[in-house]
């Protein structure tokens, strides 16, 4: 079914239409939230929060064609709010489970990448994750974060330069 038609139905209070809209992009939502949350439970929690906010506020969406960028912006804000409120504590059960499921080399690489990314400012780390972990284009990142495309490009460039310094190399 056409996305715009589903948005119109959702705005009229059709819950099934809203669920269909979300289900069409559930993988995209999950990947986006996981980049911020880094564990499945918190990812699903923020997605649940996003759905409630979408349901309560879909009437405020002015341009039906922008449903997905609007909803992803809400999801990013839900992630940031959740992280801010819950000063992340990582469950030992989760860490233990992850160690057994994945090989150590891959885990070492992930830890090294996270460690290097953690040395960047939040605004640089955020755009790099959205661009290179989720393969989002500049325009989409711009829409999600509500910043100009030029700012997105600038932040990515600065972030990559900082990563180059951190790695101590000439090329990434």
CA distance 21 to 38: 24
CA distance 136 to 169: 26
Number of H helices, E strands in the chain: 10, 0
pLDDT digits (tens, 9 = 90+) for 18-27: 999 999 999 9
Residue at token pair 């989720």: 134
169 has a pLDDT exceeding 80: no
Q: Which domains, from first to last, does the chain contain?
A: 3-88 (1.10.1740.10), 108-167 (1.10.10.10)
CA distance 114 to 125: 10
Please provide the distance, in angstroms rounded to a whole number, between the alpha carbons at the two ends of the chain.
Answer: 43
> Residue 30 phi/psi, 5° resolution?
-60, -45
Query: Inter-axis angle of helices 15-24 and 40-57, to 10 degrees?
Result: 140
pTM of structure? 0.72
Confidence of residue 86 (pLDDT cuts 50, 70, 90): confident
pLDDT digits (tens, 9 = 90+) for 146-167: 999 999 999 999 999 998 888 8
CA distance 124 to 117: 9
Confidence of residue 54 (pLDDT cuts 50, 70, 90): very high
pLDDT recorded at residue 98: 55
108 has a pLDDT exceeding 60: yes
pLDDT recorded at residue 101: 55
Q: Compute the 3-state secondary structure of the chain and give helix, strand, coil in percent, each to the nearest 5.
A: 80, 0, 20
Which among 125, 2, 24 is positioned nearest to 71, based on CA atoms? 24
Q: What is the mean pLDDT of residues 125-134?
A: 91
64 has a pLDDT exceeding 70: yes
């Amino acid at each position: 079914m056409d996305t715009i038609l589903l948005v119109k139905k959702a705005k009229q209070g059709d819950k099934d239409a809203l669920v269909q809209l979300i289900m069409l992009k559930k993988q995209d939502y999950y990947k986006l939230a996981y980049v911020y949350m880094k564990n499945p439970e918190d990812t699903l929690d923020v997605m649940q929060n996003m759905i409630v906010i979408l349901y309560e506020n879909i009437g405020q969406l002015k341009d039906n064609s922008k449903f997905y960028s609007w909803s992803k912006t809400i999801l990013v804000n839900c992630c940031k709010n959740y992280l801010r409120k819950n000063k992340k504590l990582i469950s030992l059960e989760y860490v233990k489970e992850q160690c057994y499921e994945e090989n150590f080399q891959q885990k070492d690489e992930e830890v090294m990448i996270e460690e290097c990314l953690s040395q960047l400012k939040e605004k640089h780390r955020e755009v790099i994750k959205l661009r290179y972990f989720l393969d989002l284009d500049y325009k989409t990142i711009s829409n999600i974060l509500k910043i100009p495309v030029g700012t997105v490009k600038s932040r990515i460039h600065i972030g990559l330069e900082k990563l180059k310094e951190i790695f101590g190399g000439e090329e990434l």
